[in-house]
Structure 1
Amino acid sequence: MKRSLASVSALLFTLALLAGCAGRAPAPESQMRGQWSDQQSRLEAMNNWQLTGKVGLRTPEDSVSANLDWWQSPTYYRLLLSGPFGSGRSTLEGNDQGVTLITSEGRFQADTPEALMEEQLGWSLPVSALDYWVRGLPTPDASYQRETDAKGYPLYLQQQGWEIAYRDWVAAGDVWLPRRLVMSQKGLRATLVVNQWRLEPDDE
């Protein structure tokens, strides 16, 4: 049985973790960034953090948006989405035992987020790569192409058939992290707008 657009969008958001508007010029403070090479190793080691923001998805048929709260640690992650798409809130939780998705339609489990998406939607996104892409990094287990600015910060990243455009950056602790990024592939466009990054003491 096909799901409604609202419930499919809620599930897609929970698994894809991406959001809403693009095209503005970078904020003036982002021009104060140091060199990418000075912080790259810290970003690679950063595995204990939280972010809050807005997510949105645009397809040829429709567009929807939601609020996002994402908790990430070395052994556990949790994503909470809430917004105006009708189904209230959706939660995705994962650890080394598997992944659980809780929505208004029930509780679903699988070994990986990709498998869960394939099971519920019939197709999948590279969900496991998003932990890297949201930090401005390519996932280490796949080839990629990258275009950078004069300071070495990614402008565009192409990996696993996706193009990720980094629109703006924000300071968090002693590193600069993406504030706005846009992912696109074959008619699907998704943008993440981060309102706040929180780094745990080990990462700051």
Structure 2
Amino acid sequence: MTRLFTVFLFTVLMVGCASRPPSHEDGPQPGQWDAQESTLEALERWQLVGKVGLRLPNDSTSANLDWHQGAAYYRMMLTGPFGSGRSVLEGRSDEVTLTTGEGRFEAETPEALMQEQLGWSLPVSSLHYWVRGLPAPDRASQREMDDRGFPAELDQDGWTIEYRDWTLVEDLWLPRRMVMTQDDVRATLVVNEWEPQVDND
């Protein structure tokens, strides 16, 4: 199960009406995505708490996620009910480390770390864009918008990311539920708490 946690960790494992601002229950309104997209592009720091699930052809698992993202550092911690403790992925500009019950592993990039530990790799470096509803820059992508002008589906790096639900946090609409699929791998992220830090970390 530790290995399954590790797989998702890397896959894993974002204004209003003229008369009044929308309530959370109203959901996103037309025009709001265009109004906030530049703010999301500049957003470099946040804390996110949620639950992740991974479904593979022969198995499935889930875990709790605590993700701290800084301008030059990130830390993702997964804890779950399988008795394997926790898995922690930490990244800086020149180093990525993964700490599990099996030890501590290092590499220059998360993709390289996956290749070394799992024998294959995923586009980990794109996730902090996808979780804001944005495509990673400088690579081909296709994005479909819903009837309110919000991202509904993003295709990039061989993955399809579906945005199933949004939550309003500090005047920003951010993804609350995302489903990411590639071939027969399906990863789901449900965010229980978003704390964007627009100014200083």
TM over 0.5: yes
Q: Does the CA contact (< 8 Å) of 1:65 and 1:85 recur in 2?
A: no
8 A contact 1:163–1:184 mirrored in 2? yes
Distance apart, 1:201 and its partner CA: 5.0
Matching of residue 80 in structure 1 with residue 61 in structure 2: no
Q: 3-state SS of the aligned residue for 1:125?
A: coil
Taking a change above 3 Å as real, the CA distance of residues 91 and 47 of structure 1, as seen in their structure-2 partners, is same
1:15 aligned residue (6, 10, 25):
10
Shift of 1:150: 2.0
Match of 1:110 in 2: 107
How far did 1:151 drift?
Answer: 2.3
The residue aligned with 1:51 is 48
**d(CA) in 2 for partners of 1:64, 1:54:** 11
Superposition deviation, residue 37 in structure 1: 0.4
1:182 aligns with 2:189: no
- 2:162/2:180 contact within 8 Å kept: yes
Residue of structure 2 equivalent to 1:91:
88
Aligned-residue CA RMSD in angstroms? Answer: 1.7
State how far apart, in whole Å, the 2-side matches of 1:34 and 1:70 are.
Answer: 29
Contact preservation (8 Å) 2:30, 2:149: no
Secondary structure (helix, strand or coil) at the match of 2:112 reads: helix
Gaps of 5+ in 2: 14-23
Number of residues of Structure 1 aligned to a counterpart in Structure 2: 191
Normalising by structure 2, what TM-score? 0.90
Which residue in 1 is equivalent to 2:165? 168
Query: What is the deviation of 1:35?
Result: 2.1
- Within the alignment, does 1:132 sit opposite 2:129 as a pair? yes
Aligned partner (choices 17, 39, 42) of residue 39 of structure 2: 42
SS at match of 1:140: coil
Q: Is the 8 A contact 1:13 1:81 kept in 2?
A: no
Question: Equivalent pairs: percent with the same residue?
Answer: 59
TM-score normalized by the length of structure 1: 0.89
Is 2:31–2:149's contact at 8 Å kept on the other side of the alignment? no
Distance, in Å, in 1 between the alignment partners of 2:152 and 2:198 is 28
In 2, the alpha carbon distance for the partners of 1:79 and 1:43 equals 20
On the 8 A contact 1:10/1:87 being kept in 2, the answer is no
AA aligned to 1:97 is D
Classify the secondary structure of the residue corresponding to 1:80: strand
Query: 1:192 aligned to 2:189?
Result: yes
Deviations 1:32-82 (A, max 9, x none): 575210000000000011100000000110110000000001111000100
Ranges of 4+ aligned residues in structure 1 off by more than 3 Å: 31-34
Residues of 1 paired with 2:56 and 2:196: CA distance? 33
